[in-house]
Amino acid sequence: MKKLISVAVLLMLTVAPMRIAGESYAGHAGAFLYVPIGARPAAMGGAYLAVSDDGAGAMYNPAGLSNIKRTLFGTSYRVMTLDRVLGYATVIVPTKGESALGVHWLYAGDKGLKARDDRGVIIPGFDISKNDHDISIVFAKRFEKFFGAGLKMNYLQSSFVDMSAFGVGFDLGAMFYLSELFDRNTRDLMAIQDIRAGVTVKYLGAEYRWNNENYVGPRVVNQIGGTVQKDKVPVEFGLGGSARFFDRKLLLATDILKNTKQSPFFHAGAEYTLHPKLALRGGFSAGRLTAGTGFIFEVGGRTIAVDYAFSTDKVDEGSEHIFSFDFLF
């Protein structure tokens, strides 16, 4: 059984990077929730379900946060084209019994467009913009040496012109530390170290309820009331694996994601530690190559991790740059 686990992990992590399906997440409710964010996971092609041990972990697999042993503040910003913005801020606090509790905020939107009438003339004081927020509470706990679980409770808010919608959803995650199934002496002799598998089910029950009454009321003659529209966020299922090679210098990770609206997606990534404080990363995600680097330094007894990622152009919308900062106290 143990030999089969090792072989299965090796095959999963060394398979040639390729996307299973060519679809994007656009067009569905909560599309901003699916965009890889956080420079480290983004540089690794979004393959992070079996890693998730930093400030970005709450968005991938909450179970991984139980590995955080010091209070962490993390933030990230993704520089995007077309006046779009995407970023997050998170605080994770270790608690007793190999557990952690945190608060997370993910935001996305644009800088707005000037509204025009049917003659193309700008309408003063009327801008068109779309903004989304996911404010969540996260809890993770390591129940056994080989198993941990996590829960993320999401409050979703979206606004468009004079309309707004709200929703509540849940993310569930599990992390299996497969190397712990071997005794210490066997682990030390293995070529593959720190074998993990991550499983997630995300956006359970998440649904936006829109009502356009505030928008059509002042603008449509003889309009009474508004129209109610419910937009359900697709539930996403994820399975990931990760392992370290070459005395833990090389981290390989793969994820397979499937939501209720689309075909599966495949993500793959790697991280190579050149120096205990410097790492290089690369990956493949949704038809795009990704790359990045990370540097760790100490200031006054505090650890600061600075990460950068680059994502290549997709459908002529421009390449993107992601910056992240994790502060450990």
Instruction: Give the pairing type, strands 163-177 and 122-128.
Output: unpaired
Q: Which two tokens stand for residue 142?
A: 């390591």
Q: How far is CA 90 from CA 139, 154, 210, 244, 328, in A?
A: 13, 13, 28, 27, 12
pLDDT in tens, the chain (329 residues): 444 444 344 434 433 333 333 345 556 788 888 887 899 999 999 999 999 999 999 999 999 999 999 999 999 998 777 677 889 999 999 999 999 999 999 999 876 666 666 677 777 766 777 899 999 999 999 999 999 999 999 999 998 877 888 999 999 999 999 999 999 899 888 999 999 999 999 999 999 988 766 665 555 555 555 677 888 999 999 999 999 999 999 999 999 999 998 889 899 999 999 999 999 999 998 778 899 999 999 988 899 999 999 987 555 556 788 999 999 99
Query: Which residue intervals of 165-321 are DSSP H helices?
Result: 184-189, 213-216
**Cβ contacts of 268 within 8 Å, gap of 6 or more:** 15, 17, 45, 47, 252, 253, 254, 255, 283, 284
Q: Which two tokens stand for residue 223?
A: 């309009």
Q: How far is CA 203 from CA 53, 166, 168, 207, 236, in A?
A: 20, 14, 9, 9, 7
Cα(290)–Cα(305) distance, integer angstroms: 19
CATH of domain 2-328: 2.40.160.60
Beta strand segments in the chain, E = 72-79, 84-95, 99-110, 113-116, 122-128, 130-144, 147-160, 163-177, 193-204, 207-211, 228-232, 236-245, 250-259, 265-275, 278-285, 288-299, 302-311, 320-328
